[in-house]
Amino acid sequence: MLSVDLPQSNSSPQLSSTNRILVVEDEELIRQMLVLSLEEEGYEVVTAPDGRTALSLLQEAEGNDKIFPFNLIVLDLMLPQLNGLDLCRLLRYQGNLVPILILSAKASETDRVLGLEVGADDYLTKPFSMREFIARCRALLRRQRFSSLPQTPVLQLRDINLYPQECRVTVRGEEVNLSPKEFKLLELFMGYPRRVWSREQLIDQVWGPDFLGDTKTVDVHIRWLREKLEKDPSQPEYLITVRGFGYRFG
Ligand code: CA
């Protein structure tokens, strides 16, 4: 049985994240609980009760630019029609690199190793807590997000240049000193110009899911960044507050 350990809900409004997750699980009760927890985190969730349905949903998303691709697959192993290991193997064979989190009642070492060998990224043994499940999902999404950031030597927006590999930033041609957290925040903003980020999403991306402080930390760092980047920090042109949601860049 799953232990019911739902993550704390956030009090401020949740943005619908662009992350789409496919949950492949044949046991309805478990499937519903997974969906509930993921939706509470603001993710968009699509479900499949068996391997074949999952495969056709994935192929549909691949071949259609009107449907966003999935950012993560949560995959049970014991499934009707096409089992989880075979589905995983097939996707990797087809060159699909979407992160896969395997859920399984099988706890033996060989199953775990086999799951990872066929190309899964992580493995969670039932029963598990919802808190741990969400933390694993976040970690996989975060890894993917950062690895998909453009590998350009410089991110440039108006008169700000950020050199990811050199951890260096210039504003209007002048070098500015940023703390590691300020740098990560700015890198994230510049990697996704005009995207609105909630404070919770920024905490997640920059501080990590284990961060225990509150979201005011984000506001404090934004203020510091504004002082270093903006011509007039009280009239920001780069780090814009989006009331009721969070922040965006530019
Ligand atoms: Ca099953």
pLDDT at 171: 94
**Is the pTM of the predicted complex or chain greater than 0.85?**
no
pLDDT at 147: 57
Domain of 175 in residue numbering reads as: 155-249
242 falls within a domain = yes
pLDDT at 15: 36
**Shared-domain flag, residues 31 and 131:** yes
**Shared-domain flag, residues 129 and 169:** no
CATH number at residue 79: 3.40.50.2300
Instruction: Report how far residue 42's alpha carbon sits from residue 16's, in angstroms, rounded to the nearest whole number.
Output: 5
Last residue of a domain, one of 126, 146, 166: 146
pLDDT at 8: 43
State in Å: Cα 80 to ligand 1 middle. Answer: 8
When divided into structural domains, the chain yields a total of 2
pLDDT at 192: 82
Last residue of a domain, one of 146, 179, 204: 146
pLDDT at 5: 45
CATH number at residue 225: 1.10.10.10
Instruction: Report how far residue 80's alpha carbon sits from residue 78's, in angstroms, rounded to the nearest whole number.
Output: 7
pLDDT at 27: 95
Last residue of a domain, one of 146, 181, 205: 146
**Shared-domain flag, residues 87 and 191:** no
pLDDT at 108: 72
State in Å: Cα 183 to ligand 1 middle. Answer: 43
**Shared-domain flag, residues 18 and 142:** yes
pLDDT at 153: 72
42: nearest Cα among 62, 14, 80: 14
pLDDT at 151: 56
State in Å: Cα 75 to ligand 1 middle. Answer: 9
State in Å: Cα 27 to ligand 1 middle. Answer: 6
State in Å: Cα 26 to ligand 1 middle. Answer: 5
Sequential pLDDT tens for the chain (250 residues): 444 444 444 433 333 347 899 999 999 999 999 999 999 998 999 999 999 999 999 988 776 666 668 899 999 999 999 999 999 989 888 777 889 999 988 777 777 777 777 888 888 998 899 999 999 999 998 876 655 555 567 888 889 999 887 889 999 999 999 998 999 999 989 888 888 999 988 988 888 877 888 889 999 999 999 999 999 999 999 999 999 899 999 8
Backbone angles phi, psi at 205, to 5 degrees: -75, -35
Residues 6+ apart with CB under 8 A from 82: 50, 51, 52, 54, 55, 90
**Shared-domain flag, residues 25 and 115:** yes
Q: Would you say 175 and 143 are in contact if contact means Cβ atoms under 8 Å apart? A: no
5 falls within a domain = no
pLDDT at 152: 62
**Shared-domain flag, residues 40 and 129:** yes
Instruction: Report how far residue 121's alpha carbon sits from residue 98's, in angstroms, rounded to the nearest whole number.
Output: 9
Instruction: Report how far residue 54's alpha carbon sits from residue 24's, in angstroms, rounded to the nearest whole number.
Output: 6
**Shared-domain flag, residues 188 and 160:** yes
**Shared-domain flag, residues 115 and 167:** no
**Shared-domain flag, residues 52 and 123:** yes
State in Å: Cα 106 to ligand 1 middle. Answer: 10
Protein residues within 5 Å, CB atom, of ion ligand 1: 26, 76, 78
